[in-house]
A and B are shown apart, each in its own frame.
Chain A
Amino acid sequence: MLEGASIVVEEGQFVSLVGPSGSGKSSLLRAVIGLQKPLKGTVACEVALSDVGFLFQDDALLPWNTARDNVALGLTLRGKARREALEHADLWLERVGLGGFGGRFPRHLSGGQRKRVALAQVLVRQPKLLLMDEPFASLDAIVRARVVQDVAALVERERITVLLVTHDLEEAISLSDRIYLLSRGPRAHVTHEYRTALPRPRDPVRARTHEGFAPLYEKIWTDLSHEIDDIQ
């Protein structure tokens, strides 16, 4: 459970929440979109809920809908006409690298492809704020690197504000402008805040070789280790 967290996400920024399991990172994201109520305090979101996209850890696509219908659902649930929604769906499937896969059911797609469909389903709505709850955790290393690259490029292109929850320090540093480190639960709180000084536009795979990467990694890792050791 998270207690006393003051986290600010400014427009156009890519912000990550990093911390050990049980620090309440996911609960915070879920509170922003209204899937869960905070016990105390408030979540102030200047963006309308319908302009917030949520990318889950699981792809959670409707198994009885084709990839195309799954993406179009993002628009039809908002009241767009089906035909128009399908046109946009095709466009976005193309953008996430899945042109020609629209007719497939989720069962017949690989884990990486399903993740891309889920991404298209969220981005087709042109969200202003994108919340991601360890979205890449279930992917294997190589697929993951490619998906992360594409997400970073699309998010930058569409100028979407992002709040990412992750266990992965490298992922957080290579993608973010700002990182919040959370302590371990049960009374978790924000212990540190960092700014990454890596240039944009950014390629998250190559960002790892940037001169600013290693020192920041070292710093966050030290803080995180202390956090875990203190409690143990």
Chain B
Amino acid sequence: MNPRYAWARQLTAFGVLLAAWEAAGRAHLLNPMYAPSPSQIGATLVELFGSGRIWTHLEATFTAALAGLALGIVAGGLLGVIGTLVPLVAELLEPVMTLLNAIPRVILAPLFVVWLGIGIASKVALSFILVAVLLFFTVAGGIRQVDRKLVERVVTLSGGRWALVRHVYLPSVAASVMASLKVAVGFAFTGAVVGEFVAASRGLGYLLSFAQSTYNSALMLALVVLIMVVVLVIFAVAGRLERHLLRWN
């Protein structure tokens, strides 16, 4: 088997599966209530975009996810920096972060709804907490892993504190952050969608919970497909950014 054509085989297998699924649906072998056929899922997607009612939900989810991502990167990063520079902060912060890291953080969703209401704030908060904890460990670890030899090299070239930050610490930490950016993006969307699923009036998660309460499997699967496409597109963008910024690696 030529590994170059793996994608062709994968695509063929996927096509065959879809065709079999479609055929089984048309032959009334599958209950559309549980397993709507691919064409029904496709039709639902077309209807969502055609009627335009999807946009407000997409907007809500994207806003919450991206806001949580940005805030989480900044706050988690800053805490990571402070946590490695100030021993007292490190001492107090480490156990909290370790605990937050150990639990599935989405269990905080109901609490955020109670505290912040069913509006976008509770979704941003969930997204934020998922990303911030990840970034804290990424940045703290990145700083600890900085190569001592590079530090000494810059010092012997008469580089001061600022030169060390700029030429050694920042690029070194940026590399760690880039490497976990994809995971962070995934976390941000998880936070937004789960938050909406718990309680909301807009968003893909809200639509998902609505579909569930009306036993609308076609809508649920359509949303799953939509979310997969969205995340894949963002992964592709993040991947390109990563390849560009880490081209030295």
Which residues on A are within 8 Å of B, measured CB to CB? 33, 35, 49-50, 52-54, 56, 58, 60-66, 73-74, 77-78, 105-107, 121, 125
Contact = CB atoms under 8 A, between A and B. Distances in A.
Interface stretch (B19-27, B73-81, B163-171, B227-235): B163-171
Given A65-B167, A78-B157, A78-B158, 16 more contacts: A33-B156, A35-B152, A50-B158, A54-B156, A56-B149, A60-B152, A62-B150, A62-B167, A62-B168, A64-B171, A73-B154, A73-B157, A77-B157, A77-B158, A77-B159, A105-B247
Interface in B216-249: 247-249
Interface residues of B, number: 19
Nearest to B155: A35
Contacts of B150: 60, 62
A54 B175 CA distance: 27
Interface of B: 147, 149-150, 152-159, 163, 167-168, 171, 175, 247-249
B152 A56 contact: yes
Contacts of B171: 62, 64
Contact of B248 (A54, A58, A105): A105
Contacts of A56: 149, 152-153
A12 B147 CA distance: 34
Contacts of A106: 248
A58 B113 CA distance: 55
8 contacts: A56-B152, A60-B150, A61-B153, A65-B248, A105-B247, A106-B248, A107-B249, A121-B157
A35 B156 contact: yes
8 A-B pairs with least C-beta separation: A105-B248, A54-B156, A60-B153, A60-B149, A64-B171, A77-B159, A64-B248, A77-B157
A162 B156 CA distance: 16
Given A56-B149, A58-B149, A63 B154 contact: no
A67 B141 CA distance: 27
Contacts of B154: 62, 73, 77
A35 B158 CA distance: 12
A105 B168 CA distance: 15
Contacts of B157: 73-74, 77-78, 121, 125
A27 B230 CA distance: 56
A183 B168 CA distance: 37
A107 B158 contact: no
A107 B248 contact: yes
A49 B156 CA distance: 8
A50 B159 CA distance: 10
Nearest to B159: A77
A77 B161 CA distance: 11
Nearest to A58: B149
B153 to A, nearest CB: 4
Contacts of A35: 152, 155-156
B173 to A, nearest CB: 11
Contacts of A62: 150, 153-154, 167-168, 171
Contacts of A54: 156
Given A64-B175, A105-B248, A73 B158 contact: no
Contacts of A65: 167, 248
Nearest to B247: A105
A66 B157 CA distance: 17
B148 to A, nearest CB: 9
B116 to A, nearest CB: 40
